[in-house]
């Protein structure tokens, strides 16, 4: 029972969720620095001002990764550290910080996997042209990426252009839960996505034009769907869901074109994005140059037909950890996502479905025949630090173990999987859920009140993953 020899056992993070030091060493304000200050937007008003202080403690954190035997560390670069106002002059201190992170990783033989954009956008670009709403962002993004390639291209062999474009745009423009906090801007939502696709595509092409042969792709938040039952109307709702919620993104990354039925539907509704001359060709060209499909997998969903007067996308999201407090959402006349009676859920109402991870891999392999990077997978849970500083997170071990077994099955069935990154290495800020929703192997002593020593403590899952890596996955199958 062995994973491929070169398999990259990894773990992931994102700049805003771990770094803190939000205005240090020349970093500019970001959309998130602004958004978290609006009352009621985040759980108990939490911010990433300090986060888990990785900016000052990165050496300690990466040493813990090395001790664990981690093969790859996925992290994101904060655009506003490199370009405090989004463009213009480069902030040398920002380059230096990420150079240190990359060099520290390499000194331990940890492969750095860099996300270019994990949601924190320089506020100056929002003030100047509303960020992703303007095509101007395409050139600024590519210019920022070029700076990263110039500075780090020789050392970094794995690049992720955008993290979960589907999530930051949905929560930003449809449900107002992320910046810019807009509600029901359907036409703008698809336009913003088109700009993001163009930024991604031009970045991929630039990377190749610069002569780099490393790996590049985007990370997609993939929630695979199951039809509620064999009632044809529910099976069709699954098909529509897949086109609108999954293939809308993955088809563009992998084929350079939007799914036809979804595009037809959106044109009728008046929500389809506007193209400029040359866009279609650029998307097509870039699709030929991606190296993998990045997948962030947390849960699967169920699809059922949703009548014209049924539920809307604007339900209640559980951000408190009070089980059962979220409500069903969907698109009227198309689909809705009721709970799956066969699956258990987390305290935040996310279904727990290891086989869904294999399902994602199988679908990607059949539809796109691309290698896969699992760029995130993990369990958000309440953890308790005992008096002796131990943290017994058996539930996380079971969760990850089962997901990895499912991943192994997918590999056995013919999928090429290059890497698997857990979310997350240390505990960190969960965007809307504060610090109480913990994901890490390393417990960090802090809470929503910004109190705590910020000391690091290894959870039981830390030792478990260490063994998984040591045995290249063999220990997953021990009882
Ligand atoms: C993904 C994001 O959506 O899921 C991460 O890429 C995020 O940044 C993770 O933290 C878990 O989500 P949440 O809402 O539980 O923090």
Q: What is the pLDDT of residues 109-159, one digit of tens each?
A: 999 999 999 999 999 999 999 999 999 999 999 999 999 999 999 999 999
Distance CA 404, CA 410 (A): 10
218 belongs to a structural domain = yes
Give distance in angstroms: CA of 285 to centre of ligand 1. 30
375 belongs to a structural domain = yes
SS3 content of the chain, % helix, strand, coil (to 5): 40, 15, 45
436 belongs to a structural domain = no
Among protein residues, the one whose CA lies closest to atom 12 of ligand 1? 430
- Ligand 1, residues 431, 433, 435: which to mutate, most atoms within 8 A of Cβ? 431
Distance CA 187, CA 189 (A): 5
Number of structural domains found in the chain: 1
256 belongs to a structural domain = yes
315 belongs to a structural domain = no
Task: Assess whether pLDDT exceeds 70 at residue 91.
Answer: yes
Q: Quick check: 72 and 419 in contact, CB under 8 A?
A: yes
Q: Which domain holds residue 279?
A: 8-15+53-300+344-426+456-477
pLDDT digits (tens, 9 = 90+) for 442-467: 999 999 998 899 999 999 999 999 99
Cβ < 6 A, ligand 1 pocket? 14, 17, 163-164, 167, 221, 296, 376, 380, 423, 430-433, 437
Percent of the chain with pLDDT over 90: 99
pLDDT digits (tens, 9 = 90+) for 325-372: 999 999 999 999 999 999 999 999 999 999 999 999 999 999 999 999
Catalytic residue among 19, 111, 133, 164: 164
For the chain, give the mean pLDDT: 97
Per-residue pLDDT band at 162 (split at 50, 70, 90) = very high
262 belongs to a structural domain = yes
Percent of the chain with pLDDT over 70: 100
Closest ligand 1 atom to 163 CA? 6
| Token digits of residue 126 | 């929002």
What per-residue string of b and e applies to 107-136 under the rule 16 or more CB within 10 Å gives b? eeebbbbbbbbbbbbbbbbbebeebbbbbb
Task: Assess whether pLDDT exceeds 70 at residue 1.
Answer: no
pLDDT digits (tens, 9 = 90+) for 171-212: 999 999 999 999 988 999 999 999 999 999 999 999 999 999
164 is catalytic: yes
Q: How far is CA 87 from CA 96, 202, 204, 207, in A?
A: 18, 17, 19, 19
Give distance in angstroms: CA of 164 to centre of ligand 1. 9
304 is catalytic: no
pLDDT score of 479: 74
CATH code, domain with 129 = 3.20.20.80
Give distance in angstroms: CA of 65 to centre of ligand 1. 20
């Amino acid at each position: 029972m062995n994973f491929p020899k070169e398999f990259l056992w990894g773990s992931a993070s994102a700049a805003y969720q771990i770094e803190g030091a939000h205005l240090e060493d020349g970093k500019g304000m970001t959309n998130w620095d602004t958004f978290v200050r609006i009352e009621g937007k985040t759980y108990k008003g939490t911010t990433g001002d300090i986060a888990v202080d990785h900016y000052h403690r990165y050496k300690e954190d990466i040493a813990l990764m090395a001790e664990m035997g981690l093969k790859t560390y996925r992290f994101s670069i904060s655009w506003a550290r490199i370009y405090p106002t989004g463009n213009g002059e480069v902030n040398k201190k920002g380059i230096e910080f990420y150079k240190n992170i990359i060099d520290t990783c390499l000194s331990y033989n940890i492969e750095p996997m860099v996300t270019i954009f994990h949601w924190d956008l320089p506020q100056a670009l929002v003030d100047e042209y509303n960020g992703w709403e303007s095509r101007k962002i395409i050139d600024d993004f590519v210019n920022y990426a070029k700076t990263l390639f110039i500075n780090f291209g020789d050392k970094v062999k794995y690049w992720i252009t955008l993290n979960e474009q589907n999530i930051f745009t949905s929560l930003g423009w449809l449900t107002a839960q992320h910046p810019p906090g807009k509600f029901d801007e359907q036409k703008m939502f698809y336009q913003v996505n088109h700009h993001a696709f163009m930024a991604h595509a031009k970045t991929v092409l630039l990377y190749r034009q610069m002569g780099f042969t490393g790996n590049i792709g985007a990370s997609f938040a993939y929630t695979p769907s199951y039809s509620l039952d064999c009632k044809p109307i529910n099976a069709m709702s699954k098909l529509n869901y897949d086109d609108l919620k999954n293939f809308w993104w993955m088809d563009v990354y992998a084929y350079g074109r939007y799914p036809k039925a979804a595009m037809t539907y959106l044109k009728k509704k008046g929500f389809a994005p506007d193209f400029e001359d040359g866009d279609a060709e650029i998307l097509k060209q870039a699709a030929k140059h991606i190296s993998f499909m990045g997948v962030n997998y947390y849960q699967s969903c169920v699809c059922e037909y949703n009548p014209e007067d049924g539920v809307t996308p604007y339900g209640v999201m559980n951000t408190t950890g009070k089980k059962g407090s979220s409500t069903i959402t969907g698109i009227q006349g198309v689909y809705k996502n009721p709970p799956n009676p066969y699956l258990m859920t987390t305290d935040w109402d996310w279904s727990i479905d290891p086989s869904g991870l294999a399902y994602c891999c199988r679908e990607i392999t059949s539809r796109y025949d691309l290698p896969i990077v699992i760029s995130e997978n993990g369990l958000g849970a309440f953890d308790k630090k005992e008096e002796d500083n131990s943290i017994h997170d058996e539930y996380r071990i079971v969760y990850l173990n089962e997901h990895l077994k499912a991943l192994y099955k997918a590999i056995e069935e013919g999928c090429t999987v290059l890497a698997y990154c857990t979310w997350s290495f240390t505990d960190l800020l969960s965007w809307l859920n504060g610090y109480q929703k913990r994901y890490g192997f390393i417990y960090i002593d802090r809470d929503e009140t910004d109190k705590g020593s910020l000391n690091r403590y290894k959870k039981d899952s830390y030792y478990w993953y260490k063994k998984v890596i040591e045995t290249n996955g063999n220990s997953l199958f021990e009882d």
